[in-house]
């Protein structure tokens, strides 16, 4: 019996070591699979304003180099539902200091956008273990009125795709999801970005 317990602990350690990447986080999930509530303050975004956006390069405080670009792409796609967004490559040509509100406003004024979005990817993670697997992202944005530089919205949210407790029942499926974590993570950025849009303009989104 003692040998069996030791073997199980050893196997668990090996699987954990071989899971390869990610950092475990204590998470809570409220069951909103489509749109979840965001922590935000709306200082002046209405149905009639703003109507066009500049999405400035994001700051990245996660472990992954590509996280800022992924989060920014998600925001770009989601906010295009509200109004036209200046192409990211056009903004990149003018941007000189990522996550700088002052430079972001300067760029947005050159592009004649109503508002500029300055964002940060706070966390991007993926994890696989024989009892669980998940991909997780967290980001925040500030939106400024281009004309007067006033902060008109500030918010943060997160999204997760998980199989807690199910990996041991379907280890192949959860492992495949882990291998495809890049695709899952990009989808989570889109979902989190839609959270912001739903918070700001629920009239342009459809909820279940």
Digit-coded pLDDT (tens) for 84-135: 999 999 999 999 887 889 999 999 999 999 999 999 999 988 766 655 667 7
DSSP readout, 73-92?
A: HHHHHHHTTTS-B--HHHHH
> For 19-55, what is each residue's pLDDT tens digit?
434 433 333 334 444 567 799 999 999 999 999 999 9
Q: Which of 157, 177, 140, 126 is nearest to 34 (CA)?
A: 157
Q: Taking the CB of residue 41, how many other CB atoms lie within 10 A of it?
A: 9
More confident residue, 164 or 100: 100
pLDDT band at 6 (very low <50, low <70, confident <90, very high): low
The alpha carbon torsion through 139, 26, 21, 38 (nearest 10 deg) reads -20
Question: Is 15 a domain residue?
Answer: no
Q: Over the chain, what is the mean pLDDT?
A: 79
Question: Is 145 a domain residue?
Answer: yes
Question: Is 57 a domain residue?
Answer: yes
Question: Is 167 a domain residue?
Answer: yes
Question: Is 47 a domain residue?
Answer: yes
Question: Is 17 a domain residue?
Answer: no
Mean pLDDT of 179-183: 54
| Paired residues of 13 in beta bridges | none
Q: How many domains does the chain have?
A: 1
In this predicted structure, what is the pLDDT of residue 31? 44
Residue 133: cis peptide before it, omega within 30 degrees of 0:
no
- Which residues have a Cβ under 8 Å from the Cβ of 185 and sit 6 or more positions away? 70, 124, 126, 135, 137
Question: Is 99 a domain residue?
Answer: yes
- Which residues have a Cβ under 8 Å from the Cβ of 145 and sit 6 or more positions away? 44, 50, 114, 115, 151, 152
Question: Is 10 a domain residue?
Answer: no
In this predicted structure, what is the pLDDT of residue 165? 43
**How many Cα atoms are found within 13 Å in the side-chain-facing hemisphere of 16?**
8
Checking if the pLDDT of 166 tops 50, the result is no
What is the span of the domain harbouring residue 73?
22-201
Decide the pairing of beta strands 115-129 and 59-60: parallel
In this predicted structure, what is the pLDDT of residue 162? 64
CATH number (domain holding residue 96): 3.40.50.10610
């Amino acid at each position: 019996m003692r040998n069996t317990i030791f073997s199980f602990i050893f196997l668990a350690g090996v699987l954990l070591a071989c899971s390869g990447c990610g950092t475990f986080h204590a998470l809570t999930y409220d069951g909103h699979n489509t749109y979840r509530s965001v922590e935000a303050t709306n200082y002046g975004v209405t149905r009639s304003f703003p109507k066009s956006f500049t999405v400035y390069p994001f700051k990245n405080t996660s472990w992954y180099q590509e996280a800022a670009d992924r989060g920014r792409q998600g925001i770009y796609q989601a906010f295009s539902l509200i109004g036209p967004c200046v192409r990211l490559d056009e903004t990149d040509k003018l941007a000189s200091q990522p996550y700088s509100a002052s430079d972001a406003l300067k760029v947005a004024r050159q592009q004649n956008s109503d508002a500029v979005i300055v964002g940060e990817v706070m966390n991007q993670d993926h994890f696989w273990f024989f009892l669980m697997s998940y991909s997780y992202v967290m980001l925040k944005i500030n939106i400024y009125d281009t004309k007067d530089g006033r902060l008109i919205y500030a918010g943060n949210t997160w999204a997760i795709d998980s199989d807690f407790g199910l990996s041991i029942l379907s280890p192949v499926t959860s492992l495949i999801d882990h291998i495809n974590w890049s695709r899952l993570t990009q989808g989570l950025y889109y979902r989190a970005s839609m959270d912001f849009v739903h918070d700001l303009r629920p009239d342009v989104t459809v909820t279940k």
